[in-house]
Each structure stands twice: as C-alpha cells, then as structure tokens.
Amino acid sequence: SQQGEEDPQALSIQEGENATMNCSYKTSINNLQWYRQNSGRGLVHLILIRSNEREKHSGRLRVTLDTSKKSSSLLITASRAADTASYFCATDALTGGGNKLTFGTGTQLKVEL
Amino acid sequence: GAGVSQSPSNKVTEKGKDVELRCDPISGHTALYWYRQSLGQGLEFLIYFQGNSAPDKSGLPSDRFSAERTGGSVSTLTIQRTQQEDSAVYLCASSLPGQGRYYGYTFGSGTRLTVV
C-alpha cells in the first residue's frame, strides 16, 4: 500500500504562476524525496529533505517538511509549460522500511501557456 | 552505462504467456529496485536487490512473479502466465549501496506491459 498521499491529485495553472503540491505520510521517516515523472515513464529525482530539516531550496523548487504533522509541500515558483508532469513524494521509513522508498500517489501538474 | 536501461520499452503479450523484463543498472550501482505502476497510480514496490541477493521480496504480488540478478549487474523480472491485471509500467531503479535512501534513485524509462 502507498504510504504517501499527494494533494491535490491534479492541478492546472497558468505559466508564471506558482504551483504547490502537498504530501502526507504515516510513519516516522529518515527523509522525504520528491520526484518528477514525464509521460508515465521514468522518474527523475528532484530534491531530498532530511527529517531534521524544515525547508530546502533548489532553483525554483522549495520543499518544506513538518514531521509533527507528517506532511511536506513542494512549491514550484514561476512555473513553465515544461514543468507539466506528475510529481511524487517518496519516504524512507525510519524503521521497518528496509532499503526501499515508499511512493505516494502523485499530483498531475499541467501548466498552460 | 550512463543511465539505467530497461528493455523492451513496450511489450504486448497474450494472457497466459510468460514475459521477461530486463534492467541494466548504472555501473557500480549494487542496489537495484523494481517497482510497478498501474495506470494513473503511484509506484508499488516489488523487490530490492543488493548485489545478487534479494533481501526484500515483500512486494512481489504472487508466485507468478520472480526476479534474479547475475554478476551484480543486469536483473530480469519474469512474470509467468500473465494476467490482464499485470498490465502496468514496470520501473527499475538503481543506486550506490545504501545511498538511495539518502541521495535518491536513478530510474530507467520503464517497460510498458500490456496483457491482451
């Protein structure tokens, strides 16, 4: 079963606007990662935030983590049509997860010109 | 290789036939993972290899599914007596040992399996 749940399931915005996606998870984690998937194929690693971090930036991406609420958000600023993709959060469980990441259900982002 | 390579990229098979899906990880990546993604869904973990051994097979959905890895490199996922519910994109990922959980995985482009 999927640990993470992304919200919203789908998001449509205009180019230049900001896009915010949220992820909730259930167990204690070591870290949380965000991935991007184009056209239902391979995923690309975007950014990782550790459990002792609250916010992290990479280019136009900003990730926040609230371990007390077991939630994370991914903000894409000044969106572009090329940002159109599905975005997934993935968690590394603190215990019992083995060496695997558990992925959420994803947010489909569409950026329109 | 420069990236994770999966073959075939697309496979259409008849119900009841066996299929083999191949993953060639990045050179030196001893950790290898198989995931399955059904249409519009998230990723479902299938199996994890460290070298040639599979310490975590907990995600394999039935005994029709098996995987092996030889030489600490190429892995093959085999589905026997395929069923229509096996239709999905099968994704392979690799990482340096113990590093995937800290630095992320590198994914292949996947094999889209369609069982008709």
Check residue B49 and give its pLDDT.
92
Each residue's pLDDT tens digit, B54-83? 989 999 999 999 999 988 899 999 999 999
pLDDT band at A42 (very low <50, low <70, confident <90, very high): confident
Average pLDDT, chain A: 90
Nearest to B45 by CA among A83, A23, A93: A93
Q: Tell me whether residues B102 and A102 touch, CB distance under 8 A.
A: no
Q: Which of A3, A100, A107 is most worth mutating to test chain B (most B CB atoms within 10 A of its CB)? A: A100
Tell me how far CA of residue B86 lies from CA of A3, A23, B13, B116, in angstroms.
22, 27, 11, 10
Using only the alpha carbons of chain A, give its radius of gyration. 13
pLDDT of residue A95 exceeding 80, the answer is no
Q: Which residues of A touch B (CB under 8 A)?
A: 2, 4, 30-31, 33, 35, 40-45, 48, 88, 90, 92, 98-106
Each residue's pLDDT tens digit, B89-106? 999 999 988 787 778 899
Check residue A1 and give its pLDDT.
32
